[in-house]
């Protein structure tokens, strides 16, 4: 199988180089080409029978051409030379009608990556539908017997996929890479006294043998579903709150969106022109390291081929860098930091050395709410305002008292960022961000 993958990588490299050379022949000043190919298999089981089986074999090519400070781009799934030639002609035709933009160009050659980094995220194995079905069926059978409060096993699902990509540009750059992804998940429905709650769990990795075992999935899904049964209403008021490990990432997602180069250039976020300004507590720092061994979120280059590097995002509460791709680094006249991609592995640290266990965080809060689920999309990036539905648990005397639901939390992310009091060490290795539960000093809650 490894030989087949290497041949496929070479084939894709040949195709992107062909497209780049053909674009030059047709009159493009510069060009860049990307190809991605995904093959995979997914199986789900319900009531001990195969519910769904799907095969994936998709591929796509993007061709971007630059001519006379204008850019055109076309995508195609047909990788024949004839189709590539036609796509280049279409891209050049588009470029004739786009506005002049001197900032739309390839990155400087000295920014492009020259050496590959092996993150150990490619572990191919032969997978058949029957093998995945048996695995799902066994997981479902264990779940049915695991707890009397489980009324239904909604789904047990498993998938395996291989992703190969190649990239080239007219500066002589060409690279390819391959990764594998294996996923297993479980969804349950728990019931008590007429109330029903979902519980779910998942595991994923580039290495099939590194997936969490069935007992982990069962425990997590059952605890989630059972613990939320028969929730009560919450009185309206101001409360301290803990965003649990699955919801605390909302803080980072909003922060990173507000610091994105696109948002900064067009000034459409609540942290516009915030470079060098304090936006979080002075003890809190956030760093990105895209070079973590074994993580599927790691990368040694972005979608322009620019070399990635570890960087400080927030240091002692102060914004250190925006997330800049080639285009917006040109627009803002700042250094390209290889963010024509998502944000990679992030690490949140407390300079006070006071990161606590989840139980200690709850005791510190004493009385308040834990949010473990958020519903709706009531976030306004331009103002930082947030108003979303939530559910979770009510805490008093440092102990969880009962589940709560059907309430709304409202505030502004500027206040929430500066209101962070403490962090917990219950981060989930499945998440891109190494961030556990977060205690915030005050939030407005609309309940009953």
Distance CA 108, CA 67 (A): 17
The position carrying tokens 């899904």 is 221
Determine the 3-state secondary structure of 341 from DSSP. Answer: coil
Residue 398, CA distances (Å) to 271, 357, 390, 393, 394 in order: 35, 13, 21, 12, 10
Question: What 3-state class would DSSP assign to 135?
Answer: helix
Encode the chain (448 residues) as per-residue pLDDT tens digits: 577 888 999 999 999 999 999 999 999 999 999 999 999 999 999 999 999 999 999 999 999 999 999 999 999 999 999 999 999 999 999 999 999 999 999 999 999 999 999 999 999 999 999 999 999 999 999 999 999 999 999 999 999 999 999 999 999 999 999 999 999 999 999 999 999 999 999 999 999 999 999 999 999 999 999 999 999 999 999 999 999 999 999 999 999 999 999 999 999 999 999 999 999 999 999 999 999 999 999 999 999 999 999 999 999 999 999 999 999 999 999 999 999 999 999 999 999 998 999 999 999 999 999 999 999 889 999 999 999 999 999 999 999 999 999 999 999 999 999 999 999 999 999 999 999 999 999 999 998 7
CATH number attached to the domain at 2-227? 3.30.2290.10
* Structure-block tokens of residue 154: 């909604």
DSSP state, residue 109: G
Of the candidates 331, 311, 315, 322, the residue with the CA atom closest to the CA atom of residue 272: 322
Domain parsing of the chain, residue ranges: 2-227, 237-446
Q: Alpha-carbon distance 335 to 332, whole Å?
A: 9
What does each C-alpha distance from 337 to 300, 313, 319 come to in angstroms?
Answer: 12, 11, 15
Torsion of Cα atoms, 361 then 362 then 368 then 374, to 10°: 80
């Amino acid at each position: 199988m490894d030989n087949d993958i290497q041949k496929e990588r070479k084939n894709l490299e040949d195709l992107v180089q062909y497209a780049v050379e053909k674009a030059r022949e047709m009159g493009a000043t510069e060009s860049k080409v990307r190809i991605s190919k995904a093959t995979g298999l997914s199986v789900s089981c319900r009531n001990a029978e195969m519910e769904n089986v799907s095969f994936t074999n998709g591929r796509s090519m993007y061709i971007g051409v630059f001519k006379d400070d204008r850019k055109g781009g076309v995508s195609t799934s047909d990788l024949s030379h004839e189709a590539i030639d036609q796509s280049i002609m279409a891209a050049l035709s588009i470029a004739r009608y786009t506005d002049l933009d001197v900032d739309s160009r390839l990155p400087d050659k000295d920014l492009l990556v020259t050496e590959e980094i092996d993150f150990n995220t490619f572990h191919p194995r032969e997978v058949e539908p029957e093998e995945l079905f048996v695995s799902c069926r066994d997981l479902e059978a264990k779940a049915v017997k695991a707890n009397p409060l489980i009324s239904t096993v909604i789904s047990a699902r498993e998938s395996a996929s291989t992703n190969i990509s190649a990239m080239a540009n007219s500066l002589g750059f060409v690279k390819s890479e391959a990764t594998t992804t294996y996923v297993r998940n479980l969804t349950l429905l728990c019931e008590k006294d007429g109330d029903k709650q979902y519980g779910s769990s998942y595991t994923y990795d580039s290495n099939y043998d590194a997936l969490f075992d069935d007992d982990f999935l069962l425990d997590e899904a059952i605890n989630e579903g059972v613990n939320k049964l028969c929730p009560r209403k919450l009185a309206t008021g101001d409360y301290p709150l803990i965003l649990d490990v699955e919801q605390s990432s909302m803080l980072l997602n909003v922060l990173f969106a507000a610091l994105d180069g696109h948002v900064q250039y067009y000034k459409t976020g609540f942290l516009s022109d915030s470079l060098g300004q304090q936006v979080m507590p002075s003890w809190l720092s956030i760093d990105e390291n895209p070079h973590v061994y074994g993580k599927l979120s790691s990368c040694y280059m972005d979608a322009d081929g620019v070399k990635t590097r570890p960087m400080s995002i927030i240091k002692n509460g102060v914004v250190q860098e925006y997330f800049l791709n080639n285009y917006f680094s040109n627009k803002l006249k700042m250094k390209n930091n290889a963010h024509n991609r998502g944000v990679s592995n992030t690490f949140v640290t407390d300079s006070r050395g006071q990161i606590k266990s989840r139980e200690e965080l709850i005791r510190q809060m004493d009385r308040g709410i834990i949010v473990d689920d958020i519903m709706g999309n009531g976030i306004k990036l331009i103002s930082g305002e947030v108003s979303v539905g939530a559910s979770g648990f009510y805490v008093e005397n440092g102990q969880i008292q009962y589940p709560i639901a059907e309430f709304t939390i409202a505030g502004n992310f500027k206040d929430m960022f500066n209101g962070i009091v403490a962090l917990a060490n219950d981060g989930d290795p499945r998440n891109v961000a190494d961030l556990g539960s977060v205690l915030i000093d005050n939030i407005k809650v609309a309940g009953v």
